[in-house]
Amino acid sequence: RKEVEQDPGPFNVPEGATVAFNCTYSNSASQSFFWYRQDCRKEPKLLMSVYSSGNEDGRFTAQLNRASQYISLLIRDSKLSDSATYLCVVNHSNYQLIWGAGTKLIIKP
Amino acid sequence: GAVVSQHPSWVICKSGTSVKIECRSLDFQATTMFWYRQFPKQSLMLMATSNEGSKATYEQGVEKDKFLINHASLTLSTLTVTSAHPEDSSFYICSARFSSGANVLTFGAGSRLTVL
C-alpha cells in the first residue's frame, strides 16, 4: 500500500459545480498535511495547509480526518482555471514529505 | 516572497552527455534544498537532500555517482545528471524551505530533461 494515495481521476466537472476529492495516508504519526496544485509541465504550488479544525480559503475548503486517516479538498463554484492536478502531501517526520500522485481535475465550460 | 530560480527550463541532450541543473534561492538563504524527480502521471519522488557545505543525502535507489549534487553556497545548489540515458528523461524540480523548520516548500519552475 502506498503511503499517500489519491484517485488519479480525471474528474470532469462542469463549470460552477462543486467537487471534492480525498487523499488517504497510511502513517498514523503523520503530523502535517498540505494540498498543492500542479499545472501541466509546471512546478507544484502550495494551495493550502490542512489543519485539524479544517480551513477555508475562498472557494476552497480542506479538512483532516485523523481517525480515518484522510484529508479532503472541496472546491465550490469551480472555475475553468481550477483545472489542474491536485497533489496531497503528508509530513510524518521532519524533512520527510510524502507526495501523492495527484488527482487530475478538468473543469468544462 | 521567497523565490527559487531554476535553470534550464528544458534541455534535450544526446545519450552519454552530462547535464547540469541549477537552483538559486532569491532573497533568502536556503541551507537545505531538496531535489525531486517526477515521471509522467506520477508523484514527486525525493531524490536527495542537499545541505550547504556538506554532502548531500540521497534517497534509497538514487545513484549518488550519477546524480551529483553540489551546494557550495547558501543560495545555489546544482544537480548534474552524468552520462544521461533515455530513462533519465524526467521533470526535475528543486525546492527549498523559506524559513527554518517550516514544512512549506518553495519550488523552482522545474527542468524537463529529454535524453535522446
**Lookup: cell for B63:** 545513484
Residue B15: pLDDT band with limits 50, 70, 90: very high
**Lookup: cell for B77:** 545548489
Task: Using an 8 Å CB-CB cutoff, list residues of chain B that contact chain A.
Answer: 6, 32, 34, 41-46, 49, 91, 93, 103-105, 107-110, 112
B34, B104, B108: residue with CB nearest A46: B104
Residues of B in contact with A4 (CB under 8 A): 43
Residue carrying the nine cell digits 460552477: A16
B63's CB contacts (< 8 A; 6+ apart) are none
- Name the E strands within chain B: 3-7, 10-13, 19-26, 32-38, 45-51, 57-58, 67-73, 76-81, 90-97, 105-107, 111-115
Measured CA distances, A66 to A75, A91, B112 (Å): 21, 13, 37
Around Cβ B54, how many Cβ atoms within 10 Å?
9
Residue A81's φ and ψ, nearest 5 degrees, are -70, -10
- Average pLDDT of chain A, as a whole number: 91
What pLDDT score does B97 carry? 76
What pLDDT score does A30 carry? 86
What pLDDT score does B52 carry? 82
Name the percent of chain B lying above pLDDT 70.
93
Name the percent of chain B lying above pLDDT 90.
58
Q: How many CB pairs under 8 A join A and B?
A: 41
* A21-25, A92-96, B23-27, range with the lowest pLDDT: A92-96
Distance from CA of B41 to the nearest CA of A (A): 7
Instruction: Establish if A10 touches chain B: CB-CB under 8 angstroms.
Output: no
* Yes or no, beta carbons of B43 and A43 under 8 Å apart: no
Residues of A in contact with B107 (CB under 8 A): 43-45
Instruction: Establish if A4 touches chain B: CB-CB under 8 angstroms.
Output: yes
Instruction: Establish if A49 touches chain B: CB-CB under 8 angstroms.
Output: yes
Q: Which amino acid is at B76?
A: L
- A63-101: per-residue pLDDT in tens? 999 999 999 999 999 999 999 999 999 986 655 688 999
- Using alpha carbons, select from A12, A107, A97, A109 the residue that is nearest to residue B44: A97
